C-alpha cells in the first residue's frame, strides 16, 4: 500500500462546524462593570433577544457548555497538537466570567483578538472571522450574555506545551494570518447575498473547518472553502469549491437551504460535527437568513478538481476481492434502507448512488458512518430523523472496508477501494 492522503467527508456536509472551534477568552481579569444599555426596558429586551439569535448564529453554546453542565460555564476540553485548551466561563459572573467586562472589552475580543487586559487570545477563538462582526451585533451578543444566569466556576487553565504556552509568540501568527476589519458589503451583489456572506464569513466562521490549515495552525488562504481535516473529531469538512466533494455549483438553492435548516434534503443529510451545528445553531435561524446563506454558498467559485487528500490505498487485486465481499454485506445489512440500487428513500434514507460524499478521494467519513452510525440532527422541521445503526461490533475491519469499497464503486460511483488498516485506525479514534 502506498500512502497518499487521509482526509475525508461525511454524508453531504455543507457548512462548517461551529461546534468544533473553541471560543477561548483568557478568563480571570476583572476590572470595571458595564452593560449594553438600550433607551427603554422594551428596547433592552429586544436587544437581548437579538443577541440570543446572533449567539445562536455563532454557535457559542456548543463550545462554552460541557454536556450536562451549566450553560456558557465553559470547561470543554479541546485537544490540539499543541496541548489541550479549555473553553472559558462566559457567564456574567463577576469573579470568573465576564461580569466585569464592558461592551468595549467584549468588542475588542471579538474584533481584535485581545482580552480585557490586552493579552493576545489564542486563535482557537475564531476572532479571524469574528473581526467581521459589526459593533452593533457585538453589543447585542454582549447584552444577551449579560442576561444569562451567572455561574461561579473558574475557567480551567490551558495545558499547552512549551513554547506554545507563551502568548507573546502569537504576534508572529497574527502577522501572518490575521487581518482585522468589519465586513464590507460588496456593492455589486444583492442585499441577500451580502447578508449571507456576512453570516458565513463572520459569525458562522465556516471557513475555519472547510479550509485546510498548515503546520502553524493557520489557514491555507489559497484553499479557502476547499475542505479540511477536523483532527479533533476525526471527520473531514468537505470542499465547498468542488462538485467532486460538497461543491454546491449544481445544487438548487432550496436544497442547500433545506440541508442547513433541517439537516436533510433531497441531496443528502448531515451527520457528525455538522449535525451538531444544525441542531445547536442553524435550525433556529430565520428562513430569510438561511436563504441568504444558501444564496452566498451557491456562488462560491467552483474548481474542476478537488484537493488531493491523504488516503491509504490497497492493491487492485485486493480491492476487487473487497468489492465482491462488500456486495453480500451490503445486501444483508444496508439494502433495506438504501435499496439494492443505492437510490435510498430520500430524505429519510439518503441515496448512496451518485453521492459525492461517498465517492470522494477520502473514505474517512463513510467509514466513520459504518463503524459508529449516527443521526441527522433533530430539528423542529424534522423532529424524529431516521438514523444509521453502528456496525463496529458486528463487522470486522475487513468487512467494513469491503462494504465501504462496494458503495464507493457501485451504481456508477467512481470511488476507490479502501484499506482495512484505515478502518482499524478510525475504529480506535475518538467518536467526537
Rounded alpha-carbon distances, angstroms, from residue 133 to 19, 54, 199, 305, 422: 18, 10, 9, 32, 41
Task: Judge contact between 5 and 309, C-beta under 8 A.
Answer: yes
User: What 3-state class would DSSP assign to 126?
Assistant: coil
Predicted pLDDT of residue 285: 95
Predicted pLDDT of residue 103: 96
Predicted pLDDT of residue 378: 84
Residues β-bridged to residue 114:
120
Buried b vs exposed e over 7-23: b needs ≥16 C-beta within 10 Å? bbbbbbbbbbbbbbbbb
CA distance 335 to 327: 10
Cell of residue 389, nine digits: 445503526
Residues β-bridged to residue 345:
349
Task: Judge contact between 124 and 83, C-beta under 8 A.
Answer: no
Cell of residue 372, nine digits: 459508529
Specify the residue for cell string 446572533: 54
Instruction: Give the domain ranges of the chain.
Output: 22-177, 191-298, 316-427
Q: Is residue 155 packed enough to be buried (19+ CB in 10 Å), middle (13-18) or exposed (0-12)?
A: buried
Specify the residue for cell string 465586513: 183
Rounded alpha-carbon distances, angstroms, from residue 376 to 247, 275, 296, 335, 386: 20, 6, 23, 19, 7
CA distance 92 to 142: 10
Compute the chain's Rg from CA coordinates.
Answer: 22
Predicted pLDDT of residue 313: 62
Closest-CA residue to 15 (of 234, 270, 265) = 270
Predicted pLDDT of residue 219: 67
Closest-CA residue to 24 (of 146, 173, 136, 128) = 128
Whether the model pTM is above 0.75: no
Phi, psi of 273, deg, nearest 5:
-55, -35
CATH 1.20.58.220 for the 316-427 domain, yes or no? no
Question: pLDDT tens digits, the chain, 432 residues: what are they?
Answer: 333 332 232 333 333 333 333 333 333 333 334 556 677 889 999 999 999 999 999 999 988 998 889 999 999 888 777 888 899 999 999 999 999 999 999 999 999 999 999 999 988 889 999 999 999 999 999 999 999 999 999 999 999 888 888 888 888 888 888 999 999 999 999 999 999 999 999 999 988 777 776 666 666 665 677 676 665 556 777 778 776 666 676 788 999 999 999 988 887 788 778 888 998 899 999 999 999 999 999 888 877 555 555 455 676 777 888 899 999 999 999 999 999 999 998 888 888 998 888 888 778 888 888 998 887 888 888 888 888 899 988 999 899 999 999 999 999 998 889 888 888 878 766 555
**What stretch of H or E contains 230?**
strand 228-230
Amino acid at each position: 500500500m502506498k500512502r497518499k492522503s487521509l482526509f475525508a467527508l461525511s454524508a453531504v456536509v455543507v457548512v462548517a462546524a461551529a461546534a468544533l472551534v473553541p471560543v477561548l477568552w483568557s478568563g480571570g481579569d476583572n476590572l470595571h462593570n458595564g452593560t449594553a444599555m438600550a433607551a427603554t426596558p422594551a428596547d433592552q429586551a429586544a436587544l437581548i433577544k437579538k443577541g440570543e439569535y446572533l449567539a445562536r448564529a455563532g454557535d457559542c453554546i456548543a463550545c462554552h457548555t460541557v454536556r450536562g453542565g451549566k450553560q456558557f460555564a465553559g470547561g470543554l476540553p479541546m485537544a490540539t497538537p499543541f496541548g489541550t485548551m479549555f473553553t472559558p466561563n462566559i457567564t456574567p459572573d463577576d469573579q470568573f466570567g465576564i461580569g466585569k467586562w464592558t461592551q468595549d472589552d467584549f468588542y475588542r475580543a471579538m474584533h481584535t483578538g485581545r482580552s480585557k487586559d490586552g493579552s493576545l487570545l489564542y486563535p482557537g477563538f475564531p476572532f479571524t472571522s469574528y473581526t467581521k462582526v459589526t459593533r452593533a451585533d457585538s453589543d447585542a451578543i454582549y447584552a444577551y450574555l449579560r442576561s444569562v444566569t451567572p455561574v461561579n466556576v473558574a475557567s480551567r487553565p490551558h495545558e499547552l506545551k512549551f513554547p506554545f504556552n507563551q502568548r507573546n509568540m502569537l504576534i508572529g501568527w497574527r502577522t501572518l494570518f490575521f487581518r482585522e476589519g468589519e465586513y464590507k458589503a460588496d456593492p455589486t451583489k444583492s442585499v441577500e447575498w451580502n447578508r449571507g456572506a456576512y453570516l458565513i464569513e463572520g459569525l458562522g466562521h465556516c471557513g475555519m473547518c472547510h479550509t485546510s490549515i498548515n503546520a502553524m495552525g493557520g489557514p491555507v488562504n489559497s484553499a479557502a472553502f476547499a475542505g479540511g481535516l477536523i483532527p479533533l473529531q476525526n471527520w473531514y469538512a468537505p470542499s465547498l469549491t468542488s462538485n467532486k466533494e460538497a461543491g454546491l455549483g449544481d445544487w438548487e438553492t432550496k436544497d442547500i437551504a433545506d440541508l442547513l435548516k433541517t439537516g436533510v434534503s433531497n441531496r443528502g443529510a448531515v451527520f457528525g460535527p455538522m449535525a451538531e451545528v444544525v441542531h445547536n445553531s442553524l435550525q433556529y435561524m430565520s428562513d430569510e437568513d438561511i436563504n441568504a446563506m444558501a444564496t452566498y454558498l451557491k456562488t462560491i467559485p467552483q474548481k474542476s478538481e478537488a484537493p488531493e487528500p491523504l488516503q491509504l490505498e490497497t492493491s487492485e487485486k485486493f480491492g476487487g476481492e473487497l468489492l465482491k465481499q462488500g456486495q453480500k454485506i451490503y445486501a444483508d445489512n444496508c439494502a433495506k434502507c438504501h435499496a439494492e440500487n443505492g437510490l435510498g428513500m430520500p430524505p429519510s434514507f439518503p441515496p448512496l448512488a451518485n453521492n459525492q460524499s461517498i465517492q470522494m478521494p477520502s473514505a474517512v467519513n463513510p467509514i466513520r458512518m459504518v463503524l459508529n452510525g449516527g443521526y441527522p440532527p433533530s430539528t423542529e422541521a424534522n423532529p424524529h430523523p431516521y438514523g444509521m445503526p453502528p456496525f463496529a461490533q458486528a463487522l470486522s475491519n475487513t468487512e467494513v472496508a469491503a462494504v465501504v469499497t462496494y458503495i464507493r464503486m457501485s451504481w456508477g460511483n467512481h470511488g476507490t477501494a479502501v484499506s482495512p488498516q484505515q478502518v482499524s485506525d478510525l475504529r480506535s479514534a475518538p467518536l467526537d
